[in-house]
C-alpha cells in the first residue's frame, strides 16, 4: 500500500484530513518530520491561516526541500486550501510574500464590494458552492460537473498559465478553484469537508 503523508507544519486541520482518507480506506500519516516527507509515495499539504506564517513554518520546519523534491520526482501531490496558495510565486496577503514558486502566479484577495446579481457578497467566501470542471483531472474521476464543495477563503490563486486551471467557481467573478499540473493537484475548497463528493476526490488521489 502506498504511503500517504500529510505535512504537519503547525497550521492546518490535519486530523480531519487524515480521518477523511481513512474513511475511504486509505492509510495516511501525519508527520512533522521532514525525513518522513522525503519517504512519502504521496504527499498532502493542507493549511489554514496566514500565507506568510505558513510559509515561514514550512521553511523553519525543513519541509521546503523535500516537498520540492517530491514534486520534481513526479510523485502525486495534493494541496488543500492554503496548501494550494503556497504553491504559487507570491501572495498579496498582508503585504507581498514569496511562496514555493512551484506554480507561476499570484494569490489575490476578493475585491471589496464584490457583488452577484446586484447583491453584495461577504468575504470570506464561506460555505457550499459549485465547481465547473475545465479539465478532467484524475482527482475528479466520477465527479459530476457542477458538484457542490465547501469553501472558506478570502484569497484565491491567479495562475500565469490558465492551462493549469482544473476547476472554476463563481463568486461575484469566476476564480480558479483548483489546479492540475502533471503530478500536482490542489484545491481551494476542502475535500475533507465536502461530504461524498470530497471523499470521492480523496479516494481518487489515494488510488493514483
User: Active-site residues: which are they?
Assistant: 81, 190, 192
Cβ neighbour number for residue 125 with a 10 Å cutoff: 22
> What is the rounded distance in angstroms from the CA atom of residue 127 to the CA atom of residue 83?
18
Inter-residue contact 83 to 188 (CB < 8 Å)? no
Cβ neighbour number for residue 182 with a 10 Å cutoff: 10
Inter-residue contact 37 to 71 (CB < 8 Å)? no
Cβ neighbour number for residue 166 with a 10 Å cutoff: 22
For the chain, helix (H) and strand (E) counts, in that order, are 6, 16
> What is the rounded distance in angstroms from the CA atom of residue 163 to the CA atom of residue 5?
28
Amino acid at each position: 500500500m502506498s504511503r500517504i503523508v500529510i505535512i504537519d507544519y503547525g497550521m492546518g486541520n490535519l486530523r480531519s484530513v487524515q480521518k477523511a482518507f481513512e474513511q475511504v480506506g486509505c492509510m495516511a500519516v501525519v508527520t512533522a518530520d521532514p525525513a518522513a516527507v522525503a519517504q512519502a509515495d504521496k504527499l498532502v499539504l493542507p493549511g489554514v491561516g496566514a500565507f506568510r506564517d505558513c510559509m515561514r513554518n514550512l521553511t523553519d520546519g525543513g519541509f521546503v526541500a523535500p516537498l520540492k523534491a517530491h514534486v520534481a520526482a513526479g510523485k502525486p501531490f495534493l494541496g488543500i486550501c492554503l496548501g494550494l496558495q503556497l504553491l504559487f510565486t507570491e501572495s498579496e496577503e498582508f503585504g507581498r510574500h514569496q511562496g514555493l514558486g512551484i506554480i507561476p502566479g499570484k494569490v489575490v484577495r476578493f475585491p471589496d464590494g464584490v457583488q452577484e446579481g446586484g447583491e453584495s457578497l461577504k468575504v470570506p467566501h464561506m460555505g457550499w458552492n459549485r465547481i465547473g470542471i475545465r479539465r478532467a483531472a484524475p482527482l475528479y474521476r466520477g465527479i459530476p460537473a457542477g458538484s457542490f464543495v465547501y469553501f472558506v477563503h478570502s484569497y484565491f490563486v491567479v495562475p500565469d498559465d490558465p492551462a493549469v486551471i482544473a476547476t472554476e467557481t463563481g463568486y461575484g467573478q469566476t476564480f480558479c478553484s483548483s489546479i492540475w499540473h502533471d503530478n500536482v493537484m490542489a484545491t481551494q475548497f476542502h475535500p475533507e469537508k465536502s461530504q461524498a463528493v470530497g471523499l470521492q476526490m480523496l479516494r481518487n488521489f489515494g488510488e493514483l
